[in-house]
Chains A and B, each alone.
Chain A
């Protein structure tokens, strides 16, 4: 049979090439080319709230939390090579720190949230340090189990309100405040981390991911850097947790719930691993979607697992990388 074999060839758009380096500042179109996506994201996030009712605004709040988690997961997995399935650990620690501070020493939430963020991050880092020498699946599984462990301990010791948890914590004075707090947090975190991975530290971390032995041979202690990385990731998660416990004015063992570990991963896979924006995007798509499907009870869990698998198998690159490629490159068929 006669068949012309063709293959897809990808070429950078000329404007992309021109925009590399400083030259971009030379023309408006090129600056626009660079800025457009970023502005789109920022404005998009900041403007949505005006178009949805109060309930969906609340949904956005929790979406923001998941976005933070997804971000920290992607950062660890994509730039440090630590696959951390224990997002719930971060949420839990942050949440408990904030909640307990607020409940026992009656600090206002503007104090508890920052403290909880830092202290919680420090704490969860301490917990994870021993596990840092583990690689790949071992680390993944351990981090998956730590939240369970925390729950067992809390139940067994029956401390911190035991199984019933503690309610009636302070909540935010106004919805717009809580909404913009989290959105701002997401944006700041996003750009901060994007910046970080291109700083020296980020470069070293990526080095650790690609070939840790070479990094050690270059006279750099990988553990030290891993610890820092985990701490940064934990900061995001713990902020999310602290925020959450004040969002609903409650804390309980379900802060360690598995959803906090699963959904962010789904978001990351969907949005595109390694592109930090992707996970955020994914979170802001998945969370509202699973809300829309609430009518089905368990069925929606089933559904978003389907989506997850579908992406894994058929579009492993994820939405973001796909868009990026489309934005920067064009494809043409060529004979071979």
Chain B
């Protein structure tokens, strides 16, 4: 990889009241790649996301995004640089209709600066994005209060919210969890399309099989430490990883 990596995490550490949530984790992510982060429950995956996206300030270590140090920056500032994330627990703006949910990111400075922001009619943009993530146009769904949507739609909505920001890096925190096989298979092409558009993606996942169909590289966490990194099969053949997983759960 000639060009400098889009994301550089070095020696990241965080403790919550004595508990080492993340310990000296460092890895790199090249532009346009899809990186998978796996690990048993409580291995600190979500904490890692929070640290990178700025929702939690790290005790130690640094995060470089596009070569710029964003450690301890306010989340919204980071997002405006083009790094955004989805949430594990789906909490849309339930009182707002689906497409209004997208009005929020469309109002962010980042979008306003860009072309689409000046494009004028935001609602139209919003609807387009929804269609892109798989809401049927003209159906009532986009106008329904987001609170009443089924989980599948919520995940798409979440992705849509990220896309509205025209990001360069999206961190997906367990988008697959809680979805049926068919829903997942319908989501996968969407993610691939994002990658085609040149968006770098970092996926936190439990559903290893689906994950491995997408990712080029995988990082494995256990108890807040990186125990392995590499291509899916390398990682899976790694002894420590086996233990880590067999020890805890048998998926994958």
Question: For A215, what are the chain B residues with a Cβ–Cβ distance below 8 Å?
Answer: 76, 104
Residue among B76, B96, B111 with the most chain A CB within 10 A? Answer: B76
Question: For B79, what are the chain A residues with a Cβ–Cβ distance below 8 Å?
Answer: 216-220
Within 8 A of A (CB), among B23-37: none
Within 8 A of B (CB), among A87-137: none
Cα of A209 to Cα of B76 in the assembled complex, Å: 16
Decide if A207 is an interface residue (CB 8 Å cutoff). yes
Cα of A215 to Cα of B84 in the assembled complex, Å: 11
Q: How many residues of B contact A (CB 8 A)?
A: 31
B96 touches A218 (CB 8 A): no
Question: For B93, what are the chain A residues with a Cβ–Cβ distance below 8 Å?
Answer: 206-207, 210-211, 214
Question: For A200, what are the chain B residues with a Cβ–Cβ distance below 8 Å?
Answer: 103, 107, 122
Question: For A203, what are the chain B residues with a Cβ–Cβ distance below 8 Å?
Answer: 96, 100, 103-104, 107
Residue among A207, A213, A217 with the most chain B CB within 10 A? Answer: A217
B109 touches A219 (CB 8 A): yes
A214 touches B87 (CB 8 A): yes
Interface string of B231-245 (1 = CB under 8 A from A): 000000000000000
> Which of B55, B76, B96, B110 has a CB less than 8 Å from the CB of A221?
B76
Q: How far is the CB of B74 from chain A (nearest CB, A)?
A: 7
A210 touches B165 (CB 8 A): no
Interface string of A233-269 (1 = CB under 8 A from B): 0000000000000000000000000000000000000
Decide if B94 is an interface residue (CB 8 Å cutoff). yes
A206 touches B96 (CB 8 A): yes
Residue among A203, A206, A211 with the most chain B CB within 10 A? Answer: A203
Decide if B92 is an interface residue (CB 8 Å cutoff). yes
Decide if A67 is an interface residue (CB 8 Å cutoff). no
B76 touches A220 (CB 8 A): yes
Decide if B91 is an interface residue (CB 8 Å cutoff). yes
> Which of A210, A213, A219 has a CB less than 8 Å from the CB of B94?
A210
Interface string of B71-106 (1 = CB under 8 A from A): 000111001100011010001111110001101110
A219 touches B55 (CB 8 A): no
Cα of A204 to Cα of B108 in the assembled complex, Å: 10
Question: For B165, what are the chain A residues with a Cβ–Cβ distance below 8 Å?
Answer: 218-219
Cα of A214 to Cα of B55 in the assembled complex, Å: 11
**Nearest residue, chain B, Cβ from A198:** B100
B104 touches A218 (CB 8 A): yes
Cα of A218 to Cα of B108 in the assembled complex, Å: 7
Cα of A219 to Cα of B76 in the assembled complex, Å: 4
B107 touches A220 (CB 8 A): yes
> Which of B91, B107, B110 has a CB less than 8 Å from the CB of A204?
B107
> Which of B74, B84, B92, B164 has a CB less than 8 Å from the CB of A211?
B92
B positions within 8 Å CB-CB of A: 53, 55, 74-76, 79-80, 84-85, 87, 91-96, 100-101, 103-105, 107-111, 122, 161-162, 164-165
15 more A-B residue pairs beyond the given contacts A204-B107, A210-B92, A217-B53, with a C-beta to C-beta distance below 8 A: A203-B96, A203-B104, A204-B103, A207-B93, A213-B75, A214-B104, A217-B75, A217-B79, A218-B104, A218-B161, A219-B84, A219-B110, A220-B76, A221-B74, A222-B76
Q: List 29 A-B contacts (CB under 8 A).
A: A200-B107, A203-B107, A204-B104, A206-B95, A206-B96, A210-B92, A211-B92, A213-B91, A214-B92, A214-B161, A215-B76, A215-B104, A216-B76, A217-B75, A217-B76, A217-B79, A217-B85, A217-B162, A218-B79, A218-B104, A218-B108, A218-B161, A219-B79, A219-B108, A219-B110, A219-B165, A220-B108, A221-B74, A222-B76
